[in-house]
Chain A
Amino acid sequence: MAGARDTVRGWGFVAPALLWTLAFFVVPFVVMAAMSLATLEGRELIWGVSLENYRRLFGQAYLFRAILVSVEITLTVTVVSVVLAYPLAWIIAFRVPERWQRLALLLAILPFWTSYVVRSYAWLLVLAREGIINKALIGLGLISEPLTLASTRFATVTGFVHFFVMLLTLTIYANLVQLSPNYRRAAIDLGANGWQAFRHVILPLTLPGIVTGAFLTFVLCIGDYITPQILGGNNELTGPQIIMVQLGRGANFPLAAAMSIVLMALVTLAYLAAARWLRLDRI
Chain B
Amino acid sequence: MTDTSHISRAPRTSSLLTEDARTKKRNAAEARFKIYGIVAIAIGLLFLLVLLTTIISRGTGAFQQTFVTLNVELQESRLDKSGARDIEQIKKVSTFGYNPLLADALSQSIVDNGFETEITKSKALRQLLSTGAIGQLRAYVIANPDQIGQTVEFNFMASSRVDGYLKGRVTRESLARDKNLSPAHLDLVDQMLAAGMIEKRFNADFILGADASSNRPEQAGMGVSMIGSLFMMLVVLLLSVPIGVATSIYLEEFAPKNKFTDLIEVNISNLAAVPSIVFGILGLAFFIQFSGGVLGIQSMKASAPLVGGLVLTLMTLPTIIISTRAALKAVPPSIRDAALGVGASKMQAVFHHVLPLAMPGILTGTIIGLAQALGETAPLLLIGMVGFIASNYPDSIMSGLTDPNSAMPAQIFEWAKRSDPAFYERAWGGIIILLVFLMTMNIIAIILRRRFERRW
Indicate, yes or no, whether A interacts with B: no
Interface residues of chain B, those whose CB is within 8 Å of chain A, are none
